[in-house]
Homo-oligomer: A and B are copies of this chain.
Amino acid sequence: MGKKFVYLFGGRGTKAEGNAEMKDILGGKGANLAEMTNLGIPVPPGFTISTDMCTKYYETGGLPKDLKTQVQEAIRKVERLMGLGFGDPESPLLFSVRSGSRASMPGMMDTVLNLGINDETVHGLIKMSGNERFAYDCYRRFIQMYADVVMKADAEHLDEELDNMKKAKGVKLDTELDAKDLKTLVEVMKEKVRELTGKELPTDPMEQLWGGIEAVFQSWNTPRAVTYRKLNDIPDDWGTAVNVQAMVFGNMGDNSATGVAFTRDPATGANVFYGEYLQNAQGEDVVAGIRTPMPINISGKREASFVSMEEAFPEQYKQLEEVYLSLEKHYRDMQDIEFTIQEGNLWMLQTRTGKRTAASAVQIAVDMVNEGLITREEAVLRINPDQIDQLLHPQIDPEAKKNIIGKGLPASPGAAVGEVVFSAEDAEEETRKGRKVILVRLETSPEDIHGMNVAEGILTARGGMTSHAAVVARGMGKCCISGCQNLVIDYKKQLCTLGGHTIKKGDALSLDGTLGEIILGECKTISPSLSGVFGTIMEWADEFRTLGVRTNADTPKDSRVARDFGAEGIGLCRTEHMFFEAERILAVREMILSNTEEGRRAALEKIKPMQKGDFIGIYREMDGLPVTIRLLDPPLHEFLPHTEEEIAEVAKSLKRPIEEVKAKRDSLHEANPMLGHRGCRLGITFPEIYEMQVRAIMEAACEVSRDGIQVEPEIMIPLVGHVKELSELRDMTVRVAEEIMKEYGVSLTYLVGTMIELPRAAITADEIASEAEFFSFGTNDLTQTTFGLSRDDAGKFLSVYVDKKILPRDPFMALDQSGVGELVRIGIEKGRSARENLKVGICGEHGGEPSSIDFCHRVGMNYVSCSPYRVPIARLAAAHAALRNQR
């Protein structure tokens, strides 16, 4: 007997061969089917083929004999449990074949239902169900799916045959076709399959089954699955398991039904049982969004005419309530469940941890702590820091004037404002041009994911809260309204109508995903805030984290936003942004155009009061918190005009010849500005610039300090590569600072430190620390120099790198821990070897990215600094880092 690849589950009163802990080999679905079995919950019997087999399949290109034996044996056991026979013409057992990987990949891989049906067994099915129409409906569904998934025929042609039949009969719904129609359709479709593929549809049940199993393994590597994994950081080598399970039928008549539900509201997190079902339907019908499903309970009814399951199937609803409560208690988390009622019998087909919006995740986590189900640590760890980004995005301003032209299901909350497009391709193209778009579709499919990924929001005419659009949008944290039934779309004319309005491609539309409102034009949005349960989670996170969280802010306004989000100081205030403002850029240009130190000093004198004003505003906002101010960083040519008109204008304003301005611009041109005359190199060659800045920083500090504001300036010298650059500029800084404090008669604590953003600085950090009271790792530039990769130019080939898996992720998004990170580690180690109490932070964009924050925690930084809107993400990620690494 070789390795075990097949694990039995299901049936009433039995135990499964697996359990919930075995997700790695059984996949999420299989493990949970086994777990439910073990909990005594009714699950149709079946077996899981392990993920190892998927790996083996890709290694060897086929399925081993050993597997065949194990599958045969498992089938025998399922036959016994169901009292049916696979291929038995009298009482036939049918199977479903479903994928199931470690991580949920909704709709990404293939499924085949009703395996085992053929011209013989269909009669057994008729006999068993007493329902000829049902049996032929199963048959035609089988043919459609099998042809599509296993035989790779173009499924649209079979759909056409279905439509032709409906037209011929003058009906609209599939359910209006009778047994005879469907029987004819089966023959037509078989013929069509022959025509499309040149092959016969297999009639042997075992042949059908092996085709289905192999097709599921193959679907692991379809382009859409690969894209989904890349977007969701799922490793390619995990593979999928295959779940082969006895079919139970929700479409055996009005006594049957099928549904999906969440144990709590996946959009808001409210502790209510929430779901949808369809009478006389197979499970795929609910999620496919073809028929609009009914609510599972009375409380979920949006329209009085709807009939809930609670009303139509009261007994089974009660049973389902028991099941869901026991599942939630068992798993200690909100569950996403699937069930089928076959002729009055409830069968559970799936349970898994439910996807949810960030708002829902936060609400559920806090509630479950209050309910005593989970600990605070667990609650904090359950909130994905990346996901809460959506809570930090704007919402439609409740005060705004709104021209609401329609309503749909509030499938994923938040606000979206953009121009309408009608295809994923257009969504991509327009966003490439820098436009913001709303993707409007009848319904979405996995093929639309790339467009959904770039859109601000998604609006669909069909589909419920669990439709493809809804599930995927929630996962992406994107605003989505689904099932807007009044929306009429004309793809050809590239327009849609809603509430009497015609909206063309490119017209502005706003979506309120929280309320499900569709608003004409651009609607005003408001900023989010940390209140209620979100505030609670943040408080808990702050209890656990040890890393400080600061912000990168250049204005009093940004400083205020960041402080409201919990920033504990400014980690990076970029003074050059101040230089660009309209009223001062002229003085800056005058300074650059001066050929003498005197000329530059005169121009700098004009800039100083303005810079001082900026700092005063920031200090006031950050009262009591440290403020790290970086001296001028970009090369001077960035401040000069580029177009002929601008040059002429500047020349006129400064009363200089145009030629002189051009000559200066040319003389400042650089082959590689990233590696050029910038950062502290400016301070060394034009000390008067940095001197003015230090004056402005210290004068502002002295002035606000007189008003009782507590101010802690940290003056940061950028782009230091050699300790002597720092020592020279530090000497200047200290000299000027002491002068000014003497002048004002004020004594302040201030620090002088440096950015570590060049490999040489990291490598010689011990020398540099002798002159620096703090280090701030500028990992944007450090990534550029360590990789020798210009961020501005990398776009042309970096995507190829990620596609070819040469780099696991874009190193400008997530810190490259083994390369750039190793330099950071060396820099901290060497720096602290020379100055034990060296304060160390990070101010590159990685400071707001969770995996990078985990790294910063591990290498012992004091704080991370990120953009104001990412401060809560950083706080949460820092808590995760502390909790994970203490384990």
Contacts and interface: CB of A to CB of B under 8 A. Distances in A.
Interface in A761-804: 763-764, 767, 781, 784-790, 792-794, 796-797, 800-801, 804
A820 B760 contact: yes
Interface stretch (A525-533, A722-730, A737-745): A722-730
A822 interface: yes
B819 A763 contact: yes
A674 interface: yes
A721 interface: yes
A765 to B, nearest CB: 11
B805 A786 contact: no
Interface stretch (A562-570, A584-592, A677-685): A677-685
A13 interface: no
A800 B685 contact: yes
Interface in A518-540: none
Contacts of A785: 675, 759, 785-786, 788
B819 A684 contact: no
Contact of A793 (B672, B724, B804, B807): B672
A671 interface: yes
A789 B728 contact: no
A670 B790 contact: yes
A721 B794 CA distance: 13
A674 B677 contact: no
Given A672-B792, A793-B671, A823 B763 contact: yes
Given A676-B790, A677-B793, A721-B789, A819 B760 contact: yes
Contact of A763 (B674, B725, B793, B822): B822
Given A721-B788, A788-B785, A764 B819 contact: yes
A788 B758 contact: yes
Contacts of A804: 684, 728
B677 A675 contact: no
Interface in A679-736: 681, 684-685, 719, 721-722, 724-725, 728
Given A684-B806, A789-B721, A677 B759 contact: no
Nearest to A758: B788
Given A672-B675, A763-B822, A684 B800 contact: yes
A818 B759 CA distance: 12
Contacts of A671: 673-674, 790, 792-793
A806 B728 contact: yes
A806 B722 contact: yes
A633 B822 CA distance: 27
Contacts of A675: 672, 674-675, 784-785, 788-790, 793
Nearest to A789: B675
Interface in A340-373: none
B760 A672 contact: no
A758 B784 contact: no
A565 to B, nearest CB: 32
A816 interface: yes
A804 B732 CA distance: 14
Contacts of A819: 721-722, 759-760, 763-764
A757 interface: yes
Most buried by B among A758, A789, A794, A816: A789
A598 to B, nearest CB: 18
A763 B816 CA distance: 12
A609 to B, nearest CB: 29
Nearest to A674: B672
B792 A822 contact: no
A724 B807 CA distance: 8
A674 B793 CA distance: 10
Contact of A786 (B725, B759, B797): B759
A793 B805 CA distance: 34
A676 B798 CA distance: 10
Nearest to A796: B677
Contact of A807 (B672, B722, B787, B794): B722
Contacts of A674: 671-672, 674-675, 788, 790
A399 B331 CA distance: 97
Contacts of A788: 674-675, 719, 721, 757-760, 781, 785
Contacts of A820: 760
A576 to B, nearest CB: 17
Nearest to A757: B788
Given A721-B819, A807-B722, A760 B784 contact: no
A785 B819 CA distance: 14
B793 A676 contact: yes
Contacts of A670: 790, 792-793
Contacts of A763: 786, 819, 822-823
Interface in A15-60: none
A804 to B, nearest CB: 7
Nearest to A818: B764
Contacts of A792: 670-672
B758 A806 contact: no
Interface in A634-682: 670-677, 681
Contacts of A764: 818-819, 822
Contacts of A794: 676
A421 B240 CA distance: 81
A796 B797 CA distance: 31
Nearest to A800: B685
Contacts of A767: 818
A572 to B, nearest CB: 18
A277 B672 CA distance: 58
A388 to B, nearest CB: 31
A590 to B, nearest CB: 20
Most buried by B among A673, A788, A819, A823: A788
Contacts of A724: 805-807
A727 to B, nearest CB: 9
A668 to B, nearest CB: 9
A10 to B, nearest CB: 43
Nearest to A821: B763
Interface in A301-315: none
A767 B820 CA distance: 14
A869 to B, nearest CB: 27
Contacts of A801: 684
Contacts of A805: 724
A786 B758 contact: yes
Most buried by B among A759, A785, A797, A801: A759
Contacts of A790: 670-672, 674-676
A796 B684 CA distance: 12
A863 to B, nearest CB: 24
A777 to B, nearest CB: 14
Contacts of A781: 788
Most buried by B among A675, A725, A792: A675
A-B pairs, 8 with minimum CB distance: A675-B790, A672-B790, A759-B759, A760-B819, A671-B792, A676-B793, A758-B788, A724-B806
Given A671-B673, A672-B793, A684-B801, 11 more contacts: A671-B674, A675-B793, A676-B793, A677-B796, A677-B797, A681-B797, A684-B806, A685-B800, A719-B788, A728-B806, A759-B823
15 contacts: A670-B790, A670-B793, A671-B792, A672-B675, A674-B675, A677-B796, A684-B804, A685-B797, A719-B788, A728-B806, A760-B786, A760-B787, A763-B822, A763-B823, A767-B818
